[in-house]
Structure 1
Amino acid sequence: MEFLLTTLVMTVTPGTGVLYTVSAGLSRGPRASVVAAVGCTLGIVPHLLAAITGLAALLHTSALAFQTLKYLGVAYLLFMAWKTLRDRSALTAERDDAPRSSARVIVDAVLLNLLNPKLTLFFFAFLPQFVPDGHPHAVLRMLELSGYFMLLTFVVFAAYGRFAAAMRDHVIARPAVVTWLRRVFAGAFAALGAKLALS
């Protein structure tokens, strides 16, 4: 229960994944918001595996490895900010159900999480706290906890996205609001990039 409550607090707290899922819900509707939630959830898999297998220790001890991954993440967040600001067709009433669009949403979501080394270090510090010392199946236990974490992440992100999608019709009917939202999302991606750069 303690693990689930802690996980809930962490997933509900807005971050890159929530921002991206909400953006997808507003720009492309409910289907895209769920696809984005799937992508963000898949994006944490490498971090969980790195923490479980001990690869996070490499990022912790190697400044070069951490800095390289960090600045790739910064560059991608800034790219997302630029793309959001430049995309004049993002918030329209048209439905976008093309498979290619879904693939693009998932790729962007995965990369947003994948290129954030802080997630690996977070899981490296977080997961072992809920596995007692000397547990005979510690790796299996961490895999089980990781499964719960991913499930809760998907549910929370999908809820954010579906709520945003429900507000979509009200938003796209107001051009001034659309422009303001585009700038807010672009600014938020840029701010997250700056925060990661300074970490």
Structure 2
Amino acid sequence: MFDIQNYTSFIAAILVFQLIPGPGALAILHATARNGIGAGLGAVMGTLLGDFVYMAGATLGLAAVMHAHPFAFEALQWFGSAYLCWLGIQMLRSPVSVDASVPERKKSGRLYFRQAFMVSLTNPKVILFFMAFFPLFLHSDASSVTLGVLMAHVTIISFLYQAGLVFIGNALARKLSSLPSARKAATRLAGTALIGFGVKLAVNNP
């Protein structure tokens, strides 16, 4: 279908890829918990844009260029690790009211868009995933149109899944808001997890 080889497996692989928790999903849930659906959807768009940049780079052969210049790839890895740790530290240090009657200070969805975009963009291993992923479902004579269709499928399915995370996360956040320390614990947990992702990226950096 759509000139995609093993179409059913392709869809299933995208779904599995989305179900694997990562910094992007964490950024989306954090934005939603702190400032609601608008902030969460802003983070979704930032994550999707970051993934789109890497998909486009993969189809244009950016991974081959980075392989020829490994220093650039390693530098991007170190930058990504540092940024995730920095973002996690900011979450740990940010004041969070434990009084459920005190609302969170509203922040623009654009702020969460930028944060999620940077979280997605500072994970350079995503481009290697797409470089290995796309060829599995392409014929040797596939056209650029087919590549575009592949990218559209990933983007649409990712949006539907991540938007679902926003609405589910918002519902859970509303329920947990009645617990005195729920918002603080969730923020501290998110910050610790981001630092963990950053450290893991640094450790795996050759």
Aligned position for 2:89 = 82
1:19 corresponds to which letter in structure 2?
A: L
Aligned position for 2:17 = 10
Asked if the contact 2:43/2:114 (under 8 Å) is kept, the reply is no
Asked if the contact 2:80/2:123 (under 8 Å) is kept, the reply is yes
Asked if the contact 1:29/1:95 (under 8 Å) is kept, the reply is no
- Pairwise CA distance, 1:90: 8.0
CA distance in 1, matches of 2:88, 2:97: 13
Match of 1:161 among 158, 166, 172: 166
- Pairwise CA distance, 1:35: 1.5
1:140 corresponds to which letter in structure 2?
A: V
- In the alignment of these two chains, the number of paired residues is 194
Aligned position for 1:152 = 157
SS at match of 2:181: helix
Superposition pairs of residues 1-199 of structure 1, within 5 angstroms: 1-89=8-96, 93-94=103-104, 96=106, 101-135=108-142, 137=143, 139-199=144-204
Aligned position for 2:5 = none
Query: What CA RMSD, in Å, does the superposition of the two structures yield over aligned residues?
Result: 1.7
1:90 to 1:163, Cα distance in 2 relative to 1, 3 A: farther
CA distance in 1, matches of 2:183, 2:177: 6
SS at match of 1:74: helix
- Pairwise CA distance, 1:95: 7.1
- Pairwise CA distance, 1:173: 2.4
Q: Which sections of structure 2, spanning at least 5 residues, go unmatched? A: 1-7
1:94 to 1:142, Cα distance in 2 relative to 1, 3 A: same
CA distance in 2, matches of 1:111, 1:143: 24
- Pairwise CA distance, 1:119: 0.6
Asked if the contact 1:93/1:172 (under 8 Å) is kept, the reply is no
Instruction: Show CA shifts across 1:80-101 (max 9, x none).
Output: 10111122148863473x6xx1
- Pairwise CA distance, 1:188: 0.5
Instruction: Show CA shifts across 1:85-125 (max 9, x none).
Output: 122148863473x6xx1111111111111111101111111
CA distance in 2, matches of 1:179, 1:129: 43
SS at match of 1:44: helix
- Pairwise CA distance, 1:176: 2.1
